[in-house]
Amino acid sequence: MTIVIADDHPFTLQGTQSFVESYGYKVIATCANGVSALNIIQLRSPDIAVLDINMPALDGLDVAKKVQELKLKTKVILLTMHNEMTIYNKSKEYGVYGYILKEHAQVELKNCLAEVAKGNQYVSDSLLNDLISVRETGTSELDKLTFSERKIIELIAQQKTSKQIAEMLFLSEKTIEGHRTNIIEKLGLPKEKNILLKWAMMNGVE
């Protein structure tokens, strides 16, 4: 199992290298920027490349994109400070195997390397947690619903029709109906007329 590590911060680079080596992997090269990383990947075809995102010249995402375009067998793991879904989504487009946050590297890097080595994908738990953590917690049942679904339930509680709700939320009536079905399913409610209204009344949704 050969590994290439790229990071423009020498301390981080060194730290990562010692972690990786401590897990029993062989680090064949370390690079301070994306260009040399891509060169090494092309020349020596390592099994895994652990790349930082923010680097001079080519960044981690660019390298991942190139790897995908050149159909290289090296699997890319992004080790980054960016706890952002947008960037994660982008990295998925480029066929990145692992996405972990530097702050949790001590915990996650080992697992990530192991999963990726097996050919699985690994995403940092804290990335997903971050999104969930901003949600407010209310009724336990309501927690199961998305923001949109909760909004719709609120409007149902105000005895609005699907048409009115659709107008108020700038959505189509069809979308609202779809949401209704999803909500009923999520809450495990029987298929009755006005069941959502009844449920909302009963659960004190305002």
The footprint of another protein (CB under 8 A) covers 53, 59, 61, 81-87, 89-90, 103, 131, 134-136, 147-148, 151, 155, 168-171
Query: Residue 22 or 129: which CB sits closer to another protein?
Result: 129
CB of 59 to another protein, least distance (A): 8
Query: Residue 11 or 147: which CB sits closer to another protein?
Result: 147
Q: How far is CA 163 from CA 149, 152, 154, 160, 183, in A?
A: 15, 12, 15, 8, 17
Query: Residue 112 or 176: which CB sits closer to another protein?
Result: 176
- Smallest CA-to-CA distance from 28 within 61, 80, 37, 54 is with 37
Query: Residue 86 or 140: which CB sits closer to another protein?
Result: 86
Specify the DSSP element, H or E, that contains 112: helix 105-117
CB of 134 to another protein, least distance (A): 4
Q: How far is CA 51 from CA 58, 153, 165, in A?
A: 11, 44, 47
* β-pairing verdict for 2-6 and 26-31: parallel
CB of 3 to another protein, least distance (A): 25
